[in-house]
Structure formats: C-alpha cells, structure tokens
C-alpha cells in the first residue's frame, strides 16, 4: 500500500460541497500478493519478489483510495507509467493510461469496475507490444479544483513478455509447453558424446530471490534503447551477448584451460541463481567460470524469467567451422600421423545452446518458432560475441542468407570431416571423407518429464534424402569454398571403432574394439597407426597418452575385431575436465594404397552422487537427507567441495569436506526445512581438482503442513 504524502500534492484545500473539494489519492493498492488474482492470472505467482509482476497484453486490477467519493461527471483519473533506463542517458518511455467506459484491445486504458464509497477498483489494459521492464507508476487526479499527482513509489510494476497472449510474438499455443519452457525452474542439460550421453539436472532458478532484478539489470547493461525492449528478437540477441563477458562486461567469464583456482570450476555449478545473484550484487563484476552448458543454463534462466519460452539444446559432434567452408579439415603427414597444429577448425564432443520461441516478422514467412540463441563466445557477429536468434527452419532448409548467424549454426550440424595428406612439397591431397558424422543426436528435455528427446530432424532432413541434398546445395552457394570429394578406386576395406555398452568408467581400464572389414574377394593387409589423446570437450588436444603401430591381415570377405585397451595407469596422470579421450586410427591398405582413417571420441564415466531423503518431507519440518559418494580412483581427492541447491532454497549451500582417501566412501547427512509443497528437486555436485562432473539429484515430494 502506498500512503498519501501531502508534500506531493499542491493546490487549494477544502470547500463546502463534497464534490467541489480537491480530489486527492490517499493510497494505492496494486493487489500484488503472490496468491492474489493479479499474480495468479498472469502466471507470476512463483516469483519470489513481492512486487506486482504482470504480463503484457493482459489486464490487471488495482484499488485507489481517494479523499472523497469519485464523481464521474466532474472528476477524471489517469495513470502515468514511466520506463527509464537507470544506467544510461537514453530517453525512456512515457505512457498515459486514460479512464474509459469500455476497454478495447490494443490500447493502453483503464476502466472502473467497482466503487465502494471513497475506494475505486480499476482494470488496467496493457499492450501486447509494450516494452518489458520496471515501470514507475503515478496516479493523476483531475477535479474542478485542480490536478494532483500521486507517485506510487516504491510500488513499481514489472512487465514481462506473455506467451499466453495470442498477440504477443512469444505466444506459445500449448499449455503443457508453456509450463515446461516458461514456468519450469528445473531442467536437464545433456553432455558427453553421442555414444555416451550424460545428463545433468540444472536449477534455472528464474523465480528465486533477486533473479528478476538481476535479469533487468543485465538488459540495461546491453546499451539497447528501452523502446527496443518490446522485441524478443532484439532482447534475445542482446542477452546472447551479455551472458558472456567477452566484449560487454557481461555475466560469465569463459575458461577452457583446466585451471580454475580463482573461481568456480564450470562442472561444479548446478544452477544459474547463484551466478546471476553474484553478478547483480557485485554491480556487474564478471562471475568465474563458464563453459557452454553454463552459458546455456544462464541464458535459459534469463529468457524464461523475462517471459520468452526457452530450452537448452545439446548438439553432439558439433563442428566449429572457422571459415564456413562446411567442412572440418583434418591433416595427416606422409606417415599418416596427425598434424596437430595445422587446423583451426575443431569438432566439439558436444555443444549446448538455446532455442527461444518467437515470431520473426523481420524474415520471410515460415521462419518463426524455435530460434537458436547461443551465448557461448565462439565467433564475432556484427562486432560482438553473440549468436542468434537463428531460425531452426532456415538451418534445416540451408537458407544461410537469413539472419542472424545462420551459416555458423548450419555448419555446426552439417559439416563433413575431410582428411587431407600433406606431401613433402607442402601440397595437399584429399584421402578420406567422413560424411554424416557432424550434428548427431541433437537433444533436449521432454515436455513434462525428465526424458531426453532427439530433435535432430528439426535441424536437418534425413541423410541422403532429396530435401537434404537441396538444403546442402542451397547452403553451399553461400559458402566460402566449394568442396571436392575425391575417392580412390578400390575402397574395399572399412574401419570402425566400437564401444560396448555405456563405455568405460573412470578409475578402470578403457576397452574398445577396432573393427576392420574386407569386402573384396582378395587378401588384404593393412598397417595401422593408433594414437590415443587426452582432449578438452571442445576438440582441442592436450597430449598423447599412447601411440603404436599394428599390422593386420584380412582374408577375403573377412571381418576382424581387434581388442584395444587403455590401462588406468596409462591415463591416470593425464586427464583433464570431463575425462574426454580420442582414439585416432589411420592406415594404408598395402595392396590398393587405400587410406583408412577414423576418430572416436569417448569419455570415462564418473560416479553419481546418491541423494536419499531419510523421512517424509513436510513444509516447515526438518528433513534429513543422506548424500553418498564413492571415490573411484586409487588416488586421494584433495579439498573436496560439495554444492547443494533446490528444494525451494533461495541460495546454494556449500560444504568444504576436505580430502577423500583413495577408493573411500563418503556419507553426508544434511538437514533442510522445505518451504514449498509439491514436487521438488534437490541437486548436488562434488568438485575437486582430480575428479569433475560428479553430480546427482533426487525428486522429493513435499507434503503441506
């Protein structure tokens, strides 16, 4: 409730006839309680904030208490809304909301819906194209005796995008999808390789304390005029630049070095709330450190918080094609050894970006819907590290001329791997082409469950189909160089690397198989060179762990399986984050000179944290939760740190555990007092220098008191 402050009112005081008296505002009630009709009808009742939070294009109600009964014949009321940037001098927005008898769509106006003595209840109509943001509200009273202004400070109104409103560009015509992509504060982010897809639960925390304020603070840092805050295309593009720190004092500093001493290891984060609060409370000091899934988690949080339907998407074998040639080039020397410093292209084991839902009135029809928005700083786009919004439909159809950044996204899911051999004179010849290896198992969380959904078909047509050929030809017209495919005449030996089941665990030997097939009716012999390298998940090689040559004889039509083992002792001192390795095998068939080449990415799987509530969870009652962890390594883990969040907590709990002995089991007993009933998640991660990507979650149903 705002109380009347006489110092804000001027003009003459009191006359004998009641309606001749100056009309003054005594108080304003914005009906902003979380369980009130405004917040419920606008789907903003989950926000921690006690402000009035509304969605544009939808009416909200408020009470005004006046100094005397309102006389519709001689009195007038009007609202003034102001949206001013706090950190820049660019002009703000002023909106007058007049009092009318009948509300019409598409106009700022208000109508009196109830009058009780000196109190009036108003229904206020907002535009579906209004700029989002924090509006200051002033009530203007007009009566025959003069005009008075009543500022409602500090009772501001927060206006958000509205996926429930058909006239809003972010309208999503499915209630289950709106619940998932706007209102769900927990999600799943996928990582690993296409053969070993891992999932981690992420707390988007978009309704938690200070997060809405942090998101609007961030938008202000974007130096975009508040008049542009009405457009989800511009807002999502701005946020993709601001979630990284590369050129605009944004949120997260990237670090792919494997050394995180002065910050938080990217694999240790379990949600976005802590990151956004740190940034906001330090007035915009970058938070350390992020990698792609952290950028995507934070972007989801910001866009969902502002009202744009958003999801995290993981692309496996994601090409980073620096010259947009639509090919990823791998160079071998005359002995068929990898030339490691020759290529600037890389293939990431996985890359996580976002999709945000909106219409695209700036593009030809058919390009609305899901748009790729990627905050991981990879390449400059119009002078800034940002990417998108890119229509997924344009990627699928190869229409790389449509904005924004479509060639880059197209190459991430469509490149071919081409192996080149460098001769002594420096000339190159193409020796092997691997088609369809890029852009695999593109994944997102299902609506309404924790299942993984494969959405590769939204990004590309089936391999070998006529539509796929046309899309690639369309894209190639805009590429920087045509690709020539050469192949030797006798291609009768094939090579493949195979892994059994879910693959090796960290702390154990890694076992794979090299499979050679001779499809000819003649004897074949091949000399192979294998090299296993420790990799960053971004496809950057750290060092070689093991290297050897083997010769293989193949009878006509024979398939030979060669078991291959990497022992724990061989890799234990080499690993980097995420336990990523690559086995590269090259070779030559003696009889035909056919070149064999293949690469296989795999990871050493980490143990989960097991989280188990020891009694029923009830609002307001202490709940004990057991968290167990087994060290899989024959090495001591130093300075182990556990992080826990979720279960309605408004911040992260950190536990400095100290050292964990080799192969030892750790059991933590943690106490919580749930504050919200319903289905909740509790998330935990364990972090230390030797072992990362260890996390777990529990679904906990909290009963009401």
Catalytic hit among 152, 292, 305, 312: 292
Contact 156, 127 (CB under 8 A): no
Question: For the segment 99-152, what is each residue's pLDDT rounded down to a tens digit?
Answer: 999 998 889 999 999 999 999 999 999 999 999 999 999 999 999 989 999 999
315 pLDDT above the threshold of 70: yes
- pLDDT in the model for residue 342: 75
Structure tokens at 1: 């409730």
Question: For the segment 592-635, what is each residue's pLDDT rounded down to a tens digit?
Answer: 999 999 999 999 999 999 999 999 999 999 999 999 999 999 99
Conformation bin of residue 302: beta by default, left when phi > 0, alpha when psi is -120 to 50: alpha
Cα atoms found within 13 Å of the Cα of residue 230, Cβ hemisphere only: 14
Kind and range of the H or E run holding 185: none
Alpha-carbon span 152 to 1, nearest angstrom: 9
Beta strands 2-3 and 510-518: pairing type?
Answer: unpaired
- pLDDT in the model for residue 53: 98
Query: What value, to the nearest 5°, has the Cα angle with vertex 516 and ends 513 and 522?
Result: 160
557 pLDDT above the threshold of 60: yes
Contact 356, 378 (CB under 8 A): no
In 3-state terms, what secondary structure has residue 684?
strand
Average pLDDT over residues 216-236: 93
The closest alpha carbon to 639, from 689, 577, 691, 572, belongs to 689
Query: What value, to the nearest 5°, has the Cα angle with vertex 561 and ends 556 and 562?
Result: 120
In 3-state terms, what secondary structure has residue 359?
coil
Beta strands 452-454 and 440-445: pairing type?
Answer: antiparallel
Contact 60, 52 (CB under 8 A): yes
Using alpha carbons, list the distances in angstroms from residue 204 to 217, 360, 698. 18, 26, 16
Average pLDDT, the chain: 91
In 3-state terms, what secondary structure has residue 147?
strand
What spatial distance separates the first Cα and last Cα of the chain, rounded to whole Å?
Answer: 30
- Residue 374 catalytic? yes
4 pLDDT above the threshold of 50: no
Q: How confident is the model at residue 90 (pLDDT cuts 50, 70, 90)?
A: confident
Query: What value, to the nearest 5°, has the Cα angle with vertex 499 and ends 631 and 525?
Result: 135
Question: For the segment 677-703, what is each residue's pLDDT rounded down to a tens digit?
Answer: 999 999 999 999 889 999 999 999 999
- Angle, helices 211-221/292-306, rounded to nearest 10 degrees: 100
Alpha-carbon span 147 to 702, nearest angstrom: 53
55 versus 385: the higher-pLDDT residue is: 55
Q: How confident is the model at residue 16 (pLDDT cuts 50, 70, 90)?
A: very low
Alpha-carbon span 512 to 499, nearest angstrom: 5
Burial of 551 (0-12, 13-18, 19+ CB in 10 A): exposed
> Which residues are 694's β-sheet partners?
686
Residues 6 or more apart whose Cβ sits within 8 Å of residue 492: 518, 519, 520, 524, 592, 594
Q: Which of 86-100, 314-328, 590-604, 650-664 has the lowest mean pLDDT?
A: 314-328
Cα atoms found within 13 Å of the Cα of residue 422, Cβ hemisphere only: 12
Burial of 637 (0-12, 13-18, 19+ CB in 10 A): buried
Catalytic hit among 374, 405, 492, 577: 374
- pLDDT in the model for residue 11: 39
313 pLDDT above the threshold of 50: yes
Kind and range of the H or E run holding 132: none
Alpha-carbon span 590 to 525, nearest angstrom: 6
- pLDDT in the model for residue 479: 59
Using alpha carbons, list the distances in angstroms from residue 259 to 8, 523, 576. 57, 51, 10
Using alpha carbons, list the distances in angstroms from residue 97 to 94, 107, 144, 152, 394. 10, 9, 20, 15, 40
Q: Which of 240-249, 294-303, 694-703 has the lowest mean pLDDT?
A: 240-249
Average pLDDT over residues 65-91: 89
Residues 6 or more apart whose Cβ sits within 8 Å of residue 167: 57, 105, 106, 128, 129
Question: For the segment 451-475, what is each residue's pLDDT rounded down to a tens digit?
Answer: 999 999 999 999 888 888 888 888 8
Question: For the segment 480-533, what is each residue's pLDDT rounded down to a tens digit?
Answer: 444 554 554 568 999 999 998 889 999 999 999 999 999 999 999 999 999 999
326 pLDDT above the threshold of 80: no
- pLDDT in the model for residue 8: 39
Residues 6 or more apart whose Cβ sits within 8 Å of residue 246: 254, 377, 385
Structure tokens at 409: 């996204």
Alpha-carbon span 693 to 606, nearest angstrom: 7
Q: Phi and psi for 609 in degrees, rounded to 5?
A: -80, 135
Contact 206, 301 (CB under 8 A): yes
15 pLDDT above the threshold of 50: no
Using alpha carbons, list the distances in angstroms from residue 461 to 325, 365, 476. 20, 20, 16
Q: How confident is the model at residue 322 (pLDDT cuts 50, 70, 90)?
A: low
10 pLDDT above the threshold of 50: no
The number of residues in the chain equals 705
Beta strands 595-603 and 580-589: pairing type?
Answer: antiparallel
The closest alpha carbon to 512, from 435, 604, 634, 440, belongs to 604
Longest pairwise C-alpha distance within the chain: 116
12 pLDDT above the threshold of 50: no
Alpha-carbon span 419 to 333, nearest angstrom: 11
- Residue 141 catalytic? no
- pLDDT in the model for residue 223: 81
Catalytic hit among 351, 416, 432, 688: 351
- pLDDT in the model for residue 14: 39
Q: What DSSP designation does 6 have?
A: G
- pLDDT in the model for residue 7: 37
Strand order across the beta sheet in which 60-66 lies = 2-3, 25-29, 60-66, 119-125, 109-116
Q: Which of 233-242, 536-545, 594-603, 684-693 has the lowest mean pLDDT?
A: 536-545
Q: How many CB atoms lie within 10 A of CB 507?
A: 21
Residues 6 or more apart whose Cβ sits within 8 Å of residue 37: 31, 61
Please report the DSSP string for 403-430 in residue order: TTTHHHHHHHHHPEEEEEEE-TTS-EEE
Average pLDDT over residues 390-410: 93
270 pLDDT above the threshold of 50: yes
Q: How confident is the model at residue 324 (pLDDT cuts 50, 70, 90)?
A: low
In 3-state terms, what secondary structure has residue 294?
helix
Alpha-carbon span 83 to 156, nearest angstrom: 10
49 pLDDT above the threshold of 60: yes
Residue written as token pair 């007993």: 669
Model pTM? 0.91
Contact 539, 320 (CB under 8 A): yes
- Residue 292 catalytic? yes
368 pLDDT above the threshold of 60: yes
Average pLDDT over residues 305-312: 98
Give the percent of the chain with pLDDT over 70: 94
2 pLDDT above the threshold of 50: no
Average pLDDT over residues 38-45: 97
């Amino acid at each position: 409730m705002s109380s009347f402050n006489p110092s804000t009112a001027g003009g003459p005081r009191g006359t004998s006839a009641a309606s001749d008296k100056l009309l003054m505002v005594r108080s304003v009630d914005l009906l902003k309680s979380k369980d009130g009709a405004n917040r419920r009808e606008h789907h903003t009742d989950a926000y921690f904030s006690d402000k009035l939070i509304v969605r544009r294009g939808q009416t909200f109600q408020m009470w005004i208490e006046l100094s005397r009964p309102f006389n519709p014949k001689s009195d007038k009321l009007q609202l003034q809304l102001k949206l001013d940037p706090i950190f820049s001098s660019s002009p703000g927005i002023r909106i007058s909301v007049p009092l009318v008898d009948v509300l019409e769509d598409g106009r700022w106006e208000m109508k009196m819906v109830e009058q009780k003595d000196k109190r009036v209840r108003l229904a206020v109509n907002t535009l579906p194209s209004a700029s989002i943001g924090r509006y200051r509200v002033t009530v203007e009273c007009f009566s025959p005796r003069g005009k008075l202004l009543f500022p409602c400070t500090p009772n501001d109104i927060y206006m958000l995008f509205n996926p429930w409103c058909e006239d809003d560009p972010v309208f999503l015509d499915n209630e289950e999808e709106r619940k998932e992509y706007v209102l769900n504060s927990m999600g799943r982010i996928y990582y690993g390789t296409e053969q070993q897809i891992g999932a981690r639960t992420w707390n988007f925390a978009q309704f938690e304390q200070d997060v809405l304020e942090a998101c609007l603070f961030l938008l202000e840092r974007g130096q975009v005029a508040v008049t542009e805050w009405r457009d989800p295309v511009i807002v999502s593009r701005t946020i993709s630049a601001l979630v990284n720190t590369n050129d605009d004092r944004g949120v997260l500093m990237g670090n792919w070095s494997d050394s995180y001493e002065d910050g938080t290891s990217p694999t240790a984060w379990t949600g976005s709330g802590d990151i956004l609060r740190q940034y906001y409370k330090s007035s915009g000091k970058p938070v350390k450190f992020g990698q792609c899934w952290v950028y995507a988690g934070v972007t989801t949080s910001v866009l969902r918080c502002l009202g744009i339907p958003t999801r995290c998407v993981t692309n496996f074998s994601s090409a980073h094609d620096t010259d947009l040639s639509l090919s990823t080039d791998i160079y071998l020397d005359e002995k068929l050894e990898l030339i490691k410093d020759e290529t600037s292209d890389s293939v990431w084991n996985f890359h996580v970006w976002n999709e945000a839902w909106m219409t695209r009135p700036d593009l030809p029809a058919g390009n609305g819907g899901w748009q790729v928005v990627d905050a991981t700083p990879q390449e400059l786009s119009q002078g800034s590290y940002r990417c998108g919004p890119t229509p997924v439909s344009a990627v699928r159809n190869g229409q790389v001329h449509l904005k924004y950044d479509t060639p880059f996204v197209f190459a991430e899911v469509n490149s071919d791997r081409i192996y080149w051999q460098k001769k002594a004179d420096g000339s190159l010849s193409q020796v092997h082409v691997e088609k369809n290896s890029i852009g695999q198992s593109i994944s997102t969380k299902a609506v309404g469950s924790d299942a993984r959904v494969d959405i590769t078909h939204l990004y590309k047509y089936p391999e070998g189909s006529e539509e796929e050929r046309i899309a690639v030809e369309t894209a190639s017209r805009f590429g920087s160089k045509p690709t020539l495919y050469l192949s030797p005449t006798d291609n009768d030996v094939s090579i493949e690397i195979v892994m059994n089941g879910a693959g090796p665990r960290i702390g154990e030997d890694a076992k794979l198989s090299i499979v050679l097939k001779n499809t000819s009716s003649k004897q074949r012999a091949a000399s192979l060179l294998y090299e296993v390298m420790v990799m960053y998940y971004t496809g950057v090689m750290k060092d070689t762990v093991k290297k050897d040559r083997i010769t293989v004889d193949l009878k006509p039509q024979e398939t030979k399986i060669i078991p291959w083992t990497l022992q724990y002792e061989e890799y234990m001192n080499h690993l980097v984050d995420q336990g990523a390795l690559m086995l590269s095998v090259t070779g030559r068939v003696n009889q035909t000179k056919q070149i064999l080449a293949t690469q296989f990415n795999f990871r050493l799987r980490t143990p989960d944290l097991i989280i188990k509530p020891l009694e029923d969870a009830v609002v307001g009652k202490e709940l004990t939760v057991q968290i167990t962890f087994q060290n899989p390594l024959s090495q001591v883990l130093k300075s182990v740190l556990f992080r826990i969040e979720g279960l309605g907590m408004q911040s992260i709990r950190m536990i400095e555990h100290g050292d964990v002995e080799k192969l030892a089991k750790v059991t933590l007993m943690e106490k919580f007092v749930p504050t919200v009933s319903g289905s909740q998640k509790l998330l935990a991660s364990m972090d230390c220098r030797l072992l990362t990507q260890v996390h777990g979650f529990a679904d906990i149903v909290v009963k009401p008191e």
